[in-house]
Structure 1
Amino acid sequence: MSLTVEIRFKRPSRIYFEGPISLVSNVIEVTKSGKIPSGQTEIPFEIPLKARGSKTLYETYHGVYVTVQYSLRCDIKRSLLAKDVTKALEFIVELKPKPAGSLTSKPVTFEIRPETLQNVRDRARIPHFIVRGHLDSDIFCLSKPLTGELTVCECERGISSIELQLVRVETCGSAEMNSREASEIQNIQIGDGDVCRGIAIPVYMIFPRLFTCVTTTAPNFKIEFELNIVIIFDNDHLVVETFPIKLTRDLIG
């Protein structure tokens, strides 16, 4: 029986760095050679999950450029004329949450209007609008949903859709040379069509397990997250407001 924990890196354009990085690699013999009787046989085993040297164990995470994977492989060695049997299985690891009160958070209030938008190419196509709202926290526990609300106060054009985008930002490499890549995890529509003005729209998103993890900063990589609020007008022009968010397992006081 072998236990392997690896951080795998996929090479983005513009930069090269080494990978995978092995955090744990243990091999144990769970039973001596001999015959296994017919029927179901259970063989208990135990492998300590401890990182090598000064390395740190991280949560299971499947990203585009960074993957943290825990896997077990069982090899059954058979007689000379019989083929060996091998079975591999990935298992999920999560950090143990700290009790409530270990982290404090604060609501994030926002107001989106044409003057607050950044990196706008064609301002002439942006109608006058005002959207106000808040996120209930700047830190979110992964076992609970992201919540808040927004209100379209004014808009001189019709609205086609209002959407939430959860984005991962993966930074790979070292302090001297790194690559920062953002990619969308999921997109949820919270407003369909020309929504009523002055009515609060709930913001609600559940975090997908494998594609999110605790916000992580390590020597070789960083995993961070952002929330985009996307407003699409009836002329197919869209505006985006981005909010950095921190994800944790700890219970927030």
Structure 2
Amino acid sequence: MKIDWDRRTCARRGHVTYAPLEPELRERLHASTGLGEAWRCLRCGDFALGDPHGSGPADQAPLVPRGKVLRDIFILRFLAVERAVRGVFIVLVAVAVWKFSNSQDAVRRLFDDYLNVLRPVFRHFHYDLDHSPVVGTIQKTFGYKHSTLVLVAVLLLVYALIEIIEGVGLWRAKRWAEYLTVVATAIFLPLEIYELTEKISWLKIATLAINILAVLYILLGKRLFGLRGGHAAFEAERQSASLLEVETTAGVGALTP
């Protein structure tokens, strides 16, 4: 099923109409009906009753995202939500690490107490908690210095801040955010691949796949670092998707013998 991004967006946000001063172009975007004047929406192309939202020269009309550009915005906002959620989660982890660093001895005593209570229960089911990988990992963290844990918490907060900034920038479709996302994500890809060599999990595989696809999509689709014509080609593509640009070009073609 093909999604009509233009009409889908207009249904949620309303139409965007504009009355250009150029007579021939104005005529193609205007219609008179029994219910009053109607103007073509610059996004979906349908006629909407009522006065236009703006008026002026055609080259000063708002550049309304439509078609493929709208689809790209939807994908970027999906990535923005994913980055923001991840950033908030990392903040919570950083806070937990910081609190743990300040009460390390108390947490260790509490953990040992619970371990002594649970040890006979697990032994009944023939499971040795003293040789459990999970228990061993937790016990190792108790040996970390306070300064080391604080450093880990700070690094996690920096990473979370980068993720949240990426999310905000991608939601607003800022080009600098696309560059930041590609660079920051690509830097951590080797680490994610290394983690898979240590232990494979579906969550790690899914995260790696999403990040690789995100890098390739933004890098190629948004023509970053000069790829596929670079920023100039990207802006030309946006302009060519504009309904007003289409109508203007059609008018020029019709006048050309």
TM-score (norm 1): 0.20
Which has the larger share of strand?
Answer: 1
Which has the larger share of helix?
Answer: 2
